[in-house]
Amino acid sequence: MLRSRLLAIALPLLLPALALADAPPAGQKISKDNIAAHRDLLPASVADRVASGAYEITIGDLKPASLSTVYAKGFYEASSNNKGKFKLADGGGLVSTASGERTRLPYGLPFPDITASDPDAGTKIMWNFYATEFQNNAQEAMFVLRTLKGNSVEVEVIGKVARLNVDFSTRELPGAAKGNSYMENALYLAPADLFGTVTLTWRWQDSAKWDTTWAYSPSIRRVRRTSSANRSDPIGPTDFILDDLNGYSGKVEFMNWKLIEEKDMLVAYLPDDADSNTVTFPRVGAAAPKFGARAFNQPRYTVRWGYGDPTKGLSAWWPLNWVWVKRPVYVVEGTSKDPYYSIGKQHLVIDRETFRIHMKLGWDRAGEYWRTQVMNQSYYISPKKDVSAAAAEISFVVDEKRNRASVSSRVDEKINPTAFDIQIDPSLFSSSNFLNYGK
């Protein structure tokens, strides 16, 4: 159980340090030679590939060992103030305890205390995840998705996304559409057949309302409304689906969620530098004044993939300089309410102190194991230490049936770093004006 506690001279709310069993020492390798001793710390799909020699895990050193204070002080204060103010409505929506109505959700965790025995714990954990996702008000991110064939990149997708958060934001947004949860533009820059394609998504606070989406296609030079019931469709010619962003990017209300267990597992991080085993959080971003007075950039990190060094003999999609740390996690099961959703059941591995997703394990609708997504999470704070953010820096998803995979990165040298807490004109997210984002 996660309990809040008061510190008289520091924060009104701190998520307490959770006791961990002894972990392998930093620098130790987990390989096919010793995986038997560590299988219970990994999903079977990852452990099996370690046993086959396709993956090799390096243990890292996390500083601080607890991540209970990784976000900005104001985030924890707001979380403490939110205690008891929200409850779940029928269907998994979030409403005010006092009024029973769904309004704009305030900054901070809506459920700072999670009890494992609560039958609604899984849904509450997912709402907390979204509170951490939206805490930086607005962001612009570039990403690279690569689909691999052997040790070669078969296709590369490059895109840029801007998102303006309404829920969980600290800003008043008079120009935002009434009833929005967030608004997002995505511009595709590669490959050639996607170049110039722009999409606009409005997500609604109404728990029963599907997203509203538009797309501009340069081939026909027209804007058209598109179906939002495609969250499990692949992104271009890759193995990623739309809902894979940061582990899950669909509506909380469109899944049935259940907390399966609390346990300790090994999860991945990018170390402080390419030759280090140490991971230090939060990472201070550099001021980015071109995006606004409060904006800051995500630090850039080097990533080495297996396909870049085939002499290692590891899978092409395996990150060679990831380190893994034993962390307390929730395992939350999600099943879609949409009968056409391609994933029948998914298990999300979520950090119990930060509510960030590290792994997603998926079964098809016939009940056969299908796909494994693994990502690192990183935690950032502004130079003034007043705004925090979290994001998955790199990720891979494996189609276990076809033995192929795609990788993604926000820290690739080919793209710009993510900018958090940006100042962005809400009119860019209007249905008549969103093409300005692509110009």
Residue 14 has pLDDT above 50, yes or no: no
Closest CA to 375 of 333, 317, 416, 424: 317
Domain region containing 402: 1-139+232-407
Rounded mean pLDDT of 150-160?
95
Alpha carbon distance 340, 352 (integer Å): 31
pLDDT score for 374: 98
Tokens of 416: 């710009």
* Contact criterion met (CB below 8 Å) for 268 and 374: yes
* Contact criterion met (CB below 8 Å) for 180 and 205: yes
This prediction's pTM: 0.93
Cα–Cα distances in angstroms (integers) from residue 356 to residues 134, 152, 271, 419, in the given order = 12, 31, 17, 19
Is residue 17 included in any domain, yes or no?
yes
* Contact criterion met (CB below 8 Å) for 207 and 102: yes
* Contact criterion met (CB below 8 Å) for 24 and 30: yes
Residue 21 has pLDDT above 70, yes or no: no
Alpha carbon distance 353, 67 (integer Å): 6
Closest CA to 145 of 202, 186, 203: 186
Is residue 297 included in any domain, yes or no?
yes
Alpha carbon distance 129, 161 (integer Å): 20
pLDDT score for 439: 60
pLDDT category, 177, cuts 50, 70, 90? low
Q: Got the DSSP string for 42-93? A: S-HHHHHHHHHTS--EEB-EEESS--TT-S-HHHHHHHHHHTTSEEEPTTS-
pLDDT score for 254: 95
Structural domain count, the chain: 1
Is residue 182 included in any domain, yes or no?
no
Q: Indicate left, alpha or beta for 108 from its phi (over 0: left) and psi (-120 to 50: alpha).
A: left
Rounded mean pLDDT of 46-56?
98
Cβ count within 10 A of residue 216: 19
Alpha carbon distance 333, 311 (integer Å): 38
At a CB cut-off of 8 Å and minimum separation 6, what does 302 contact? 273, 274, 321, 411
| CB contact burial 347-380 (16+ within 10 A = b; e otherwise) | bbbbbbbbbbbbbbbbbeeeeeebbbbbbbbbbb
Is residue 273 included in any domain, yes or no?
yes
Tokens of 255: 């899944």
Q: Got the DSSP string for 192-251? A: TTTTT-EEEEEEESSTTPPPEEEEEETTTTEEEEE-S--TTSBSTTSS-BGGGGGG--S-
* Contact criterion met (CB below 8 Å) for 220 and 192: no
pLDDT score for 20: 47
Q: What percent of the chain stands above pLDDT 70?
A: 93
Residue 236 has pLDDT above 90, yes or no: no
Residue range 280-331, pLDDT digits in tens: 999 999 999 999 999 999 998 999 999 999 999 999 999 999 999 999 999 9
Closest CA to 53 of 29, 77, 88, 75: 29
Alpha carbon distance 368, 220 (integer Å): 40
Is residue 271 included in any domain, yes or no?
yes
Rounded mean pLDDT of 42-69?
97
Alpha carbon distance 377, 356 (integer Å): 7
Residue 17 has pLDDT above 50, yes or no: no
Residue 368 has pLDDT above 50, yes or no: yes
Is residue 125 included in any domain, yes or no?
yes
* Contact criterion met (CB below 8 Å) for 339 and 10: no
Burial (0-12, 13-18, 19+ Cβ within 10 Å), 48: middle
- Give the DSSP letter of residue 132: H
Residue 228 has pLDDT above 50, yes or no: yes
pLDDT category, 22, cuts 50, 70, 90? low
Q: What percent of the chain stands above pLDDT 90?
A: 81
Alpha carbon distance 259, 150 (integer Å): 37
Longest dimension (CA), the chain: 62
Alpha carbon distance 103, 100 (integer Å): 9
Mean pLDDT of the chain, nearest integer: 91
**Bond into 64 cis (ω within 30):** yes
Is residue 44 included in any domain, yes or no?
yes
Tokens of 165: 């958060």
Is residue 430 included in any domain, yes or no?
no
pLDDT category, 412, cuts 50, 70, 90? very high
- Give the DSSP letter of residue 21: -
